[in-house]
């Protein structure tokens, strides 16, 4: 699935994964003009993220069991509708009609312009504990994300795929791939995608700067975690709007990302995560 954002096409895996949550957040936020990293900028991002998660947790499951067409959640008119619901105060959002992990993300590109965005996770440690005979490959246990509430859209059912967090991303410009990206970290993933894409498209940062910029994470209700180094003035202004801001010293809470961009001259620019073990390699 994809949505447009500041001249880019942002591509994510479709449901039952949570890639659509990042796309919904971008689809809401793009209606705001961005000139600086102000309290208004972060406030709107916070509210858009909460709205996107509210809709995602309510609607997303195996596409064969979804009551709403995923495309409808990404409609321009719906993004605008949700944006118009954002006030200047922090609010709790209902669906309209959360964080570390052992995930591995890899981005690669070759001289011919081929790009791969890949992410892998067994969910809990060794996953299900079931290993494919003669391979050593452990199968995941993503089914743990199913709900047992029969009224919930993501309720456990035979042959059904659950809402899951694994979402490698891709960028297109004029229909051609111009970048691959990902941010590991369970429910931090769409939040990381949202922030990194804004850094790239709104502030025109290079991949490394886009990854290094201070991050936030929606924790629950009106509570957001922010990294040390966040502008204290902005924190005070956000708190005045009703957001509950907590400074989290452990940077691994904020996802671990990688980005490769193909520049207009065909040269690749890449960034790697400073918050964890990470590396760049060229050949």
**Is 103 known to be catalytic?**
yes
Mean pLDDT of 237-241: 97
Residue 172 lies in a domain: yes
The per-residue pLDDT for range 14-70, each reduced to its tens digit, is 999 999 999 999 999 999 999 999 999 999 999 999 999 999 999 999 999 999 999
Of 191, 154, 150, nearest in space to 23 by CA: 191
- Written as one string, the DSSP assignment of 113-161 is S-EEEEEE--SSTTTTS-B-TTT-PBPP-GGGG-B--TTSTTB--TT-P
User: What is residue 252's predicted lDDT score, i.e. its pLDDT?
Assistant: 84
The per-residue pLDDT for range 63-102, each reduced to its tens digit, is 999 999 999 999 998 999 999 999 999 988 888 763 334 6
The two three-digit tokens of residue 96, written as one number: 């309209």
From residue 121, give the alpha-carbon distance in Å to each of 96, 105, 156: 31, 9, 21
**How confident is the prediction for the chain on average, in pLDDT?**
93
Residue 87 lies in a domain: yes
User: What is residue 250's predicted lDDT score, i.e. its pLDDT?
Assistant: 85
The per-residue pLDDT for range 122-166, each reduced to its tens digit, is 888 889 999 999 999 999 999 999 999 999 999 999 999 999 999
User: What is residue 97's predicted lDDT score, i.e. its pLDDT?
Assistant: 63
Of 164, 154, 162, 12, nearest in space to 95 by CA: 154
Of 197, 199, 198, nearest in space to 179 by CA: 197
With H, G, I as helix, E, B as strand and everything else as coil, classify residue 4. strand
Question: Rounded to two decimals, what is the model's pTM?
Answer: 0.75
Q: Which residue reads 């790697």 in tokens? A: 272
Mean pLDDT of 232-237: 96
User: Residue 116's domain is classified under what CATH number?
Assistant: 3.60.20.40
User: Rounded CA gap, 109 and 4, in Å?
Assistant: 23
With H, G, I as helix, E, B as strand and everything else as coil, classify residue 10. strand
CB of 16 closer than 8 Å to CB of 60: yes
Residue 278 lies in a domain: no
Of 159, 255, 160, 153, nearest in space to 213 by CA: 255
User: What is residue 210's predicted lDDT score, i.e. its pLDDT?
Assistant: 98
Q: How many domains, the chain?
A: 1
The active-site residue out of 103, 162, 165, 272 is 103
Residue 131 lies in a domain: yes
Does the pLDDT at position 116 exceed 60?
yes
- Structural domain boundaries enclosing 229: 2-272
- The rounded percent of the chain whose pLDDT value lies above 90 is 84
Residue 17 lies in a domain: yes
User: Rounded CA gap, 37 and 203, in Å?
Assistant: 9
Mean pLDDT of 212-216: 96
Does the pLDDT at position 241 exceed 80?
yes
Does the pLDDT at position 1 exceed 90?
yes
Mean pLDDT of 158-187: 95
Residue 280 lies in a domain: no
Q: How many CB atoms lie within 10 A of CB 275?
A: 18
């Amino acid at each position: 699935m994809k949505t447009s954002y500041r001249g880019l096409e942002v591509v994510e895996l479709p449901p039952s994964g949570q890639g659509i949550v990042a796309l919904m957040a971008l689809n809401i936020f793009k209606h705001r003009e961005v000139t600086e990293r102000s309290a208004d900028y972060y406030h709107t991002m916070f509210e858009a993220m909460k709205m996107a998660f509210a809709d995602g947790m309510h609607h997303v499951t195996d596409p064969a069991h979804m009551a709403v067409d995923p495309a409808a959640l990404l409609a321009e008119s719906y993004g605008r509708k949700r944006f118009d619901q954002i006030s200047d105060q922090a609010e709790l959002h209902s669906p309209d009609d959360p964080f570390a992990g052992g995930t591995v993300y890899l981005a690669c590109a070759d001289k011919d312009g081929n790009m791969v965005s890949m992410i892998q996770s067994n969910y809990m440690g060794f996953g299900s504990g079931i290993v494919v005979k003669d391979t050593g490959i452990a199968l995941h246990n993503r089914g743990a994300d199913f709900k047992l509430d029969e009224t919930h859209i993501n309720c456990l059912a035979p042959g059904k795929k659950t809402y899951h967090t694994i979402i490698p991303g891709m960028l297109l410009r004029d229909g051609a791939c111009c970048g691959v990206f990902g941010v590991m970290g369970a429910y931090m993933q769409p939040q990381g995608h949202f922030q990194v894409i804004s850094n790239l498209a709104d502030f025109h940062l290079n991949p490394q700067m886009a990854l290094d910029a201070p991050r936030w994470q929606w924790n629950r209700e009106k509570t957001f975690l922010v990294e040390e180094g966040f502008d204290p003035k902005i924190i005070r202004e956000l708190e005045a709007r009703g957001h509950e801001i907590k400074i989290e010293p452990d940077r691994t809470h904020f996802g671990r990302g990688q980005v490769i961009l193909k520049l207009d001259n065909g040269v690749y620019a890449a960034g790697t995560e400073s918050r964890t073990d990470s590396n760049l390699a060229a050949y």
